[in-house]
């Protein structure tokens, strides 16, 4: 990046860069302290002594001063525009009552629609939600759209309801809270954005990701979340135009339902940009927090309610069969146990139609999969389904008295079974579902180590791989070296200012914190220090995406 802040074109005058005097997370050498980057490729990793003999005046040399250089993170589930909107709107995660929420709306300086995200009534002592008219008065007549923390329901004002054609909403029918089809209508009415506004929101999200060590993001676009314009703009950040802003790579999916191979072809042909699959937030059900996830028995705090199946087994099976025949990824958003049962039955039906091998070969993926037992785990493994999960869900909502226990009671202990996925051989990758949880990858790794159920904890190394290499495998990237720092691999990494490096395991029966060099295990940041490592630089395939001023002092 030059002094004006414009990224340098890596193909024009690219120099060899030597990073030294730190710690390099690499399987090539667990004691490596230096790495050589030539353009977009890792050219060498090794010891400080060897670095001294290699370094010369033709190279840029960065003294890591003890910093960690590690593969860049991949977020396996994100919504770019929604993340940017949430970052720029009202932050409602800290409100603890309807009155506080109304005060936040009244204090908003927005001249257009008042947008906000993050309220969670399960953390309120009085869980009564504000009404349509109360939101209308607080906003002074402005339209209001406030997404719940899970983004599966929202609170809206009377004026937004009218703009979305939802005049039939009444206080008796649920008032200001909208779910399912009414939520989709309200969200799309609130998102009447120009291309310039969409780019601005997406750039804000991409910049946030880059500053937290992400080199790639799986964009889970879908018609009920945003338009095809959103998808097209998201994909355009991957362009190679000279002088463009270097950003994390966007890995696009489109959550549209196909009824046959011809229909799937038609969907793909009509999209404004290529996608990796018809997967992601193609919802089989909703969320636990909004009580729309499909359950086999009632919600503990709402007798008679079991959520909803958004797709039938037959619809899901036709979609899986169509995508399997085309050799492309299919997949669903699935959270409740009844939702998962429907998805697994659909897999069985698709396999009967097109053959188990075709289903396995397509590399389908399911998002979230929070409620899953032993038999279901084995069925997921049978079809090589990649499960894309969000560890911070457990950190936020697991444990005594929290959302999962309120909604599910004893069933909450079995939520998000990370260790069980690994034990049964189910491929796993990790993400944030941003804006549902923040783009903080080390907090996500920590959540794996500190799962509320000790039986479901995994090591920091397993969690780190799930956030890096596994993310590339989940999108079936053609280069098997992506997510690793070995000679010949793409130079995609982040540099971290760390307090201490350790081997961290989740099994309390063995030594949990060890720096014993005999293990020959690459070290990761100690995550029991009360804070996350600070990102100093993010680089993807040789292009600098982010650099803090602190890194510049090390040149």
Query: What three-state secondary structure class fits 466?
Result: helix
pLDDT band for position 125 (50/70/90)? very high
pLDDT band for position 520 (50/70/90)? low
CA nearest to 283, candidates 264, 257, 259:
257
Task: Return mean pLDDT, the chain.
Answer: 91
Mean pLDDT of 390-414: 96
Is residue 178 in a domain?
yes
Q: 68 is in which domain, residue-wise?
A: 16-72+483-498+533-552
**Helical H segments across 193-287, by residue range:** 195-210, 228-236, 261-270
Domain boundary among 164, 190, 216: 190
* Interatomic CA distance for residues 440 and 388, integer angstroms: 16
Residue 241: predicted pLDDT: 67
Q: What is the full DSSP assignment across 511-528?
A: -SEE--GGG-PPPEE-S-
Q: Are 79 and 219 in contact (CB under 8 A)?
A: yes
Question: Do 494 and 470 share a structural domain?
Answer: no
Is residue 248 in a domain?
no
Question: Do 409 and 337 share a structural domain?
Answer: yes
Question: Do 26 and 172 share a structural domain?
Answer: no
CATH, residue 32 = 2.30.40.10
pLDDT band for position 278 (50/70/90)? very high
pLDDT band for position 243 (50/70/90)? low
Residue 259: predicted pLDDT: 98
Question: Do 279 and 316 share a structural domain?
Answer: yes
Is residue 232 in a domain?
no
* Interatomic CA distance for residues 401 and 301, integer angstroms: 12
CATH, residue 423 = 3.20.20.140
Domains of the chain: total = 3
Question: Do 111 and 47 share a structural domain?
Answer: no
Question: Do 409 and 361 share a structural domain?
Answer: yes
Phi (first) and psi of residue 148, to 5 degrees: -65, 165
Is residue 262 in a domain?
yes
Per-residue pLDDT tens over the stretch 147-201: 999 999 999 999 999 999 987 665 444 478 998 889 999 999 998 899 999 999 9
Is residue 545 in a domain?
yes
Is residue 204 in a domain?
no
Residue 510: predicted pLDDT: 42
Angular region, 401: left φ>0, alpha ψ -120 to 50, beta rest: left
pLDDT band for position 551 (50/70/90)? confident
* Interatomic CA distance for residues 59 and 68, integer angstroms: 20
> Rg of the chain's alpha carbons, rounded to an integer?
24
CA nearest to 232, candidates 175, 289, 271:
271
CATH, residue 156 = 3.10.310.70
Is residue 54 in a domain?
yes
Question: Do 540 and 415 share a structural domain?
Answer: no
Is residue 231 in a domain?
no
Per-residue pLDDT tens over the stretch 498-515: 988 877 766 654 444 444
Question: Do 285 and 174 share a structural domain?
Answer: no
């Amino acid at each position: 990046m030059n002094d004006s802040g414009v990224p340098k074109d890596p193909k024009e005058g690219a120099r060899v860069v030597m990073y030294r005097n730190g710690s390099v997370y690499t399987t090539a050498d667990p004691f490596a302290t230096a790495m050589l980057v030539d353009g977009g490729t890792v050219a060498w990793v090794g010891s400080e002594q060897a670095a001294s003999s290699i370094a010369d005046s033709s190279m840029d040399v960065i003294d890591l001063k003890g910093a960690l250089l590690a593969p860049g993170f991949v977020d396996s589930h994100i919504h770019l525009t929604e993340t940017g909107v949430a970052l720029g709107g009202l932050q409602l995660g800290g409100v603890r009552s309807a009155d506080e929420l109304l005060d936040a709306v009244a204090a908003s300086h927005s001249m257009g629609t008042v947008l906000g995200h993050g309220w969670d009534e399960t953390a309120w002592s009085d869980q009564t939600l504000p009404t349509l008219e109360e939101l209308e008065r607080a906003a002074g007549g402005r339209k209001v759209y406030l997404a719940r923390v899970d983004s599966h329901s929202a609170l809206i004002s009377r004026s937004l309801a009218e703009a979305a054609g939802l005049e039939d909403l009444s206080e008796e029918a649920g008032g200001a809270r909208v779910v399912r089809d009414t939520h989709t209508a309200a969200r799309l009415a609130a998102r009447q954005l120009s291309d310039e506004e969409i780019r601005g929101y997406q750039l804000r999200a991409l910049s946030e990701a880059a500053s937290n060590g992400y080199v790639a993001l799986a964009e889970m676009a879908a018609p009920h979340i945003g338009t095809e314009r959103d998808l097209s703009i998201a994909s355009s950040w991957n362009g190679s135009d000279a002088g463009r802003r270097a950003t994390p790579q966007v890995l696009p999916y489109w959550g549209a339902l196909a009824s046959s191979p011809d229909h799937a072809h038609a969907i793909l042909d009509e999209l404004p940009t290529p996608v990796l699959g018809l997967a992601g937030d193609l919802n089989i059900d909703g969320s636990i927090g909004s009580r729309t996830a499909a359950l086999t028995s009632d919600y503990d705090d709402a007798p008679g309610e079991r959520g909803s199946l958004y797709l039938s087994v037959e619809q899901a099976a036709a979609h899986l069969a169509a995508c399997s025949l085309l050799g492309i990824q299919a997949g669903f958003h699935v959270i409740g146990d009844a939702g998962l049962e429907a998805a697994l039955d659909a897999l069985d039906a698709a396999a009967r139609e097109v053959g188990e091998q075709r289903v396995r070969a397509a590399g389908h993926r399911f998002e979230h999969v929070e409620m899953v037992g032993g038999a279901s785990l084995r069925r997921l493994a049978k079809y090589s389904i990649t499960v894309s999960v969000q560890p911070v869900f457990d950190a936020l909502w697991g444990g005594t008295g929290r959302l999962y226990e309120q909604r599910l009671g004893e069933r909450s202990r079995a939520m998000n079974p990370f260790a069980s996925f690994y034990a049964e051989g189910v491929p796993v990758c990790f993400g944030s579902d941003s804006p549902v949880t923040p783009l903080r990858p080390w907090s996500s790794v920590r959540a794996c180590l500190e799962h509320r159920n000790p039986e479901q904890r995994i090591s920091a190394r397993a969690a780190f791989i799930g956030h890096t290499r596994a993310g590339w495998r989940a999108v079936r990237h053609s280069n098997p070296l992506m997510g690793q720092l070995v000679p010949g691999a793409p130079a995609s990494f982040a540099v971290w200012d760390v307090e201490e490096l350790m081997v961290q395991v989740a099994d309390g029966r063995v030594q949990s914190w060890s720096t014993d060099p005999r293990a020959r295990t690459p070290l990761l940041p100690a995550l029991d220090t009360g804070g996350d490592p600070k990102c100093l630089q993010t680089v993807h395939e040789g292009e600098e995406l982010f650099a803090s001023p602190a890194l510049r002092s090390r040149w």
